[in-house]
Amino acid sequence: MSRTNYGNETETVTKSPFRIFVNQIGYCPDSKKTAVMNFPCENFQIIDRKGTCRYQGKAMRFGYDKNAGDTVYQADFSDFCKKGTYRIVALDETSAEFCIAESVYDGVFFDITKAFYYLRCGCGLDEKYAGIYSHGTCHTSRAFVYDDRQTELDVTGGWHDAGDYGRYVTAGSCAAAHLLYAYKLFPTVFKKQKLNIPEEGDLPDLLAECRYELEFLMKMQREDGGVYHKVTTMRHAPFIMPEDDREPLYLFAVSSMATADCGAVCALASGIYEKYDSEFSKRLRQTAEKSCRWLDNNPAFIGFQNPDDCNTGEYGEEDDASNRFWIYAEMYALTGDPAYHDRMKKALTNEFSLTAMGYTQLGGLGALAYLLCGQKTDQALTNRFTDHFHREAERLKSVADNSGYGCAMEEQNFTWGSNMTLLAHGMVFAISDYLNRDCTYKNYAAAQLNYLLGVNPTGYSYVTGNGEFRCNYPHLRPAHVDGIDECIPGMVSGGPNRTPCDPDAERLIPKGTPPMKCYADHVGCYSLNEITIYWNSPAVFLLGYLCCKD
């Protein structure tokens, strides 16, 4: 994977050299293990690095997978548990290399979690922590309030959102919440995980990384409790390193979504950090309380639209019902105050999903807050929330059973950032098991990771730096201009989008391409190959579950 120019700017989609699709990182010894072929085949073998056959099996015809547009065959080798490094061979085809080992995901897990550090804003990345990806300090100027240019505020810190250098409150709150819930559900995993980041002390590294975002989110709150929707330059920066982006920063209008989401994640965090740092926990709680006061004073939805002179991310939403539900559920979980319980119930009179956990639909996070809270709870509500997770897990299970690739995604799910939907579905499997205290859906959760790491019809591992055939040219500014061949590792690509909507993707993806194949590892394709913090964060959660041995 070398590149002579910066990034993949070719005029064609690179085809996978492999037609036997495996999780290119590998499998845990006791897990279900399936490889998928898109050509007729009966017998397959597993060979080790010396070429010695270690296992023989029969592939089964699955049939036509309409999302992939292929007739697929599955090779199940679940009963092969011997630790080692292998390839699968069938006819004259060979798979990418993969491992079978107990701690097989440690490396990719580290990379996916460490990715947040690489996206830090308002500081430089030191060579000690960032190695060859170190760079200078970025975005430290004060930001002008868009509607009141006399006012300049310090809102430094947090993570760059994505391939661009914007910082958006709803997106950041959602990503931080995924990480905090990962910690809350699987603490033993994260207490052990060392990320080689600057923070020292007792705080688990994941929490130290989240704190970096939380400090920024708190700065985005106005005195009256309202939270600015975003801080960005007026236009997206060209492809330059972050420290070279010196355009003025603006704080755009307050929205009710940003106010609710920021408050919600601060309430969640307040409870988690309490035992590590009571002063920090208190500030988080005060931020959350101020958000609630502002929401009380502003009961109507206040959305967000870019002003005409701004082209950075909009993150508009159609309503704020799930956002309000989320903050009240978190506040009730934190305080036990019945006033929040009442508000939460009132927010529930609106229609929204109680399992969704993306940045526009947060009902699942609110439900989770309630289900995990140590306060007095209403049995009917507990049952309702639990039931929603279980029913959604059952539904997704049958979707996955109907997919040749074991993928819990329907045709309409292959939109911008489809890999986030995939991973959020993985989270539903994990949460359902967590609530049931069993492993009913573990193989289904693992199957979503398998898809992400290579069991998919493009053959790509959608995580940079991981897998023999991996994406390496995502729409990510520093990666494109840092002059380093190998992309910053651990970045989850947005993945296939059946309605490609950027000029490069429109040119590269022929009309009629099956949804799962609407992908190109091309830097220009922001609608199918960008990276974002909230596409990485559900992957951290899913890996937390899969690596949890409790």
Return the active site residues: 164, 475, 521, 530
Q: Which of 396, 530, 540, 547 lies at the binding interface for ligand 9MR (CB under 6 A)?
A: 530
**Rounded CA separation 401/523 (Å):** 33
State residue 241 phi and psi, 5-degree precision.
-65, 155
Q: Kindly tell me which of 166 and 454 has the beta carbon lying closer to ligand 9MR.
A: 166
Q: Which does 416 bind (CB under 5 to 8 A by kind): ligand 9MR, Zn ion, none?
A: ligand 9MR
Q: Parallel, antiparallel, or unpaired: how do β-strands 98-100 and 60-65 relate?
A: unpaired
**Rounded CA separation 309/323 (Å):** 28
Q: Kindly tell me which of 352 and 385 has the beta carbon lying closer to ligand 9MR.
A: 352
**Rounded CA separation 133/129 (Å):** 9
Give least dist CB 318 to Zn ion, A: 30
Selection from 295, 298, 212, 304 nearest residue 253 by Cα: 304
Q: Which does 504 bind (CB under 5 to 8 A by kind): ligand 9MR, Zn ion, none?
A: none
**Rounded CA separation 287/494 (Å):** 32
Instruction: Decide if 276 contacts 214 (C-beta within 8 A).
Output: no
Q: Which of 121, 422, 487, 505 lies at the binding interface for Zn ion (CB under 5 A)?
A: 121
Any contact of residue 257 with Zn ion (CB under 5 A)?
A: no
Any contact of residue 417 with ligand 9MR (CB under 6 A)?
A: yes
DSSP structure class, residue 334: H
Choose the stretch contacting ligand 9MR; rule: CB under 6 A; options: 130-138, 275-283, 509-517, 526-534: 526-534
Q: Which does 237 bind (CB under 5 to 8 A by kind): ligand 9MR, Zn ion, none?
A: none
SS3 content of the chain, % helix, strand, coil (to 5): 40, 15, 45
Instruction: Decide if 144 contacts 151 (C-beta within 8 A).
Output: yes
- Site pattern 135..164 for ligand 9MR (x: CB under 6 A): --------------------------xx-x
DSSP H or E stretch at residue 71? strand 70-76
**Cβ neighbours of residue 405 closer than 8 Å, sequence gap 6 or more:** 21, 36, 65, 68, 72, 451, 455, 456, 457, 516
The beta strand positions in 268-375, using DSSP E, are none
**Rounded CA separation 442/406 (Å):** 13
Q: Which does 242 bind (CB under 5 to 8 A by kind): ligand 9MR, Zn ion, none?
A: Zn ion
Any contact of residue 139 with Zn ion (CB under 5 A)?
A: yes
Q: Parallel, antiparallel, or unpaired: how do β-strands 148-153 and 60-65 relate?
A: unpaired
Any contact of residue 120 with Zn ion (CB under 5 A)?
A: no
**Rounded CA separation 532/417 (Å):** 9
Q: Which does 392 bind (CB under 5 to 8 A by kind): Zn ion, ligand 9MR, none?
A: none
Any contact of residue 138 with Zn ion (CB under 5 A)?
A: yes
Q: Which amino acid is at 357?
A: M
Number of residues that bind ligand 9MR (CB under 6 A): 12
Q: Kindly tell me which of 256 and 532 has the beta carbon lying closer to ligand 9MR.
A: 532
Q: Which amino acid is at 408?
A: A
Give least dist CB 391 to Zn ion, A: 42
Give least dist CB 317 to ligand 9MR, A: 11
Any contact of residue 227 with Zn ion (CB under 5 A)?
A: no
Q: Which of 57, 122, 313, 524 lies at the binding interface for ligand 9MR (CB under 6 A)?
A: 313
Give least dist CB 20 to Zn ion, A: 42
Q: Kindly tell me which of 62 and 526 has the beta carbon lying closer to ligand 9MR.
A: 526
Interface positions with ligand 9MR (CB under 6 A) = 161-162, 164, 166, 313-315, 416-417, 526, 530, 532
Interface positions with Zn ion (CB under 5 A) = 121, 138-139, 242
